[in-house]
Structure 1
Amino acid sequence: MCGRYALFSVDLLRNLGVELPQGLPPARYNIAPTQRIAIRRKESLEPARWGLIPHWKKTLDGPPLFNARVETVAEKPSFRDAYQSGRCVVPMDGYYEWKDSQPHFVTGPDGLLWAAGLWASGLGQLSATVVTAAATEEMEWLHHRQPKFLLPDEVQAWLAGADLGGPTSVRGLSTYPVDKAVGNVRNDYPGLIEPVDKS
């Protein structure tokens, strides 16, 4: 499950040839559901609300749809339209997961991670959700779910509508414990991703 993450490598995205228009959120170290995030639908990033708003939704009542399970995303009424015609990817420097009340920061083997996502434009605003999958063997000790991260050659396939079910193909993720201050959404500073000594 993904309920908090960080994205601060904006310059890296620019170096990868991704267009960065005005209005994107700044570098963030503790992004939470309902906040603005950066998503990529084509070749540029765009700001969106984290928490999918389907076209038929009339209000923001109810819990935000910030995660969608890859196993059921094609059939669930909340996600099936976006699965058919609203693909995106969500860039992350890493995400947070809790184990026995201790937060851990999870990072990729090559820096930036791209999570499969879906977008919609209900209530007149662009919104998105992060697709999750069963945890890989290396990550299941931390949580039984994780974001559906995509390899570089899978990103365009996902955006084009390919069925990429099953666990993430990305391996070699690293984890380390971080300060419990990340549990408060008002905290958002670089020190949150620094490792803490648990010995």
Structure 2
Amino acid sequence: MCGRFVLFTSDELLAEVGSWPGISEVHAPEDLPPARYNIAPTQMVPIVRVSESFAEVTPARWGLLPHWKKDLTGPPLFNARAETVASKPSFRDAFRKGRCVIPLDGYYEWHDDGTGKVPYYVTGPEGMLWAAGLWATGMDQLSATMVTTAATDEMSWLHARLPKFLARDEIMPWLSGEELLEPSTLRGFATRKADPAVGNVRNDYAELIDEQPPTSLF
């Protein structure tokens, strides 16, 4: 799964979207979220949607609000399992007609190394990562969720689930409605221990992605 992630390369994000096949223009508002190092569910994140040859990068609440949602009760729907996304009432409408991608520079995952859960920072093999996503506009608010699959063999030691990270040639097919619900084909992820302070969502600074040396008691 993915419950915290990092995004700090906004200029590269827009340039990357503009290079996608068939995209002639990229629209982005001035109020895109700033560089972030500890993004959590219910916070605002950039998502990318495509209509014909136009791409739109726009902020959305991370936690899907289906069209029938009347209030914010219940857990935030920030992950959607690939195995049930086409049939589960919370996601099926967005799966059919609300495709987006969510950009990440990396994400955090917690793993028990034998002494308790430790946060790891994970980055992709090709720079920015693109997670398959869904969007909706329940409660008159743009919102999104990230699709997850079973982890690949490479990443299963860290967690049993993995966001559906799209290869570059899968982005436009996903956005146009292809299913692409099998585990990611990407390989070559890099992991390193992160600062345990990432566990507090109020901490949001660049040093979180680096493991901190132990503090001496003497």
TM-score band w.r.t. shorter chain? over 0.9
> Separation in 2 of the partners of 1:185 and 1:33?
10
Q: Does 1:74 align with 2:86?
A: yes
> Separation in 1 of the partners of 2:35 and 2:28?
13
- Alignment match, 1:35: 43
> TM-score, normalised on structure 1?
0.97
> Separation in 2 of the partners of 1:35 and 1:117?
15
Instruction: Name the SS of the counterpart of 1:44 in structure 2.
Output: strand
Q: Does 1:139 align with 2:142?
A: no
Q: After TM superposition, where is structure 1 displaced by more than 3 Å over at least 4 residues in a row?
A: 195-198
Shift of 1:169: 1.2
What amino acid is aligned across from residue 13 of structure 2 in structure 1? L
Instruction: Name the SS of the counterpart of 1:48 in structure 2.
Output: strand
RMSD: 1.1
**Identity among equivalent pairs (%):** 63
Shift of 1:197: 5.4
Q: 1:1-199 residue pairs with structure 2 within 5 A?
A: 1-16=1-16, 17=18, 18-42=26-50, 43-100=55-112, 101-196=117-212
What amino acid is aligned across from residue 111 of structure 2 in structure 1? K
Instruction: Name the SS of the counterpart of 1:21 in structure 2.
Output: coil
> Separation in 2 of the partners of 1:53 and 1:14?
26
Q: Deviations over 1:7-35 (max 9, x none)?
A: 00112113322543212100000000000
Instruction: Name the SS of the counterpart of 1:37 in structure 2.
Output: strand
Q: Deviations over 1:34-81 (max 9, x none)?
A: 000000011121000000000001111110000000111000000000
Structure 1: runs of 5 or more not aligned? none
Q: Deviations over 1:132-178 (max 9, x none)?
A: 01100010000000100000110000000001011011111110001
Structure with the greater alpha carbon radius of gyration: 2
> Separation in 2 of the partners of 1:15 and 1:160?
21
> Separation in 1 of the partners of 2:111 and 2:139?
36
> TM-score, normalised on structure 2?
0.88
Instruction: Name the SS of the counterpart of 1:14 in structure 2.
Output: helix
Instruction: Name the SS of the counterpart of 1:41 in structure 2.
Output: strand
> Separation in 2 of the partners of 1:152 and 1:128?
21
Aligned residues: 198
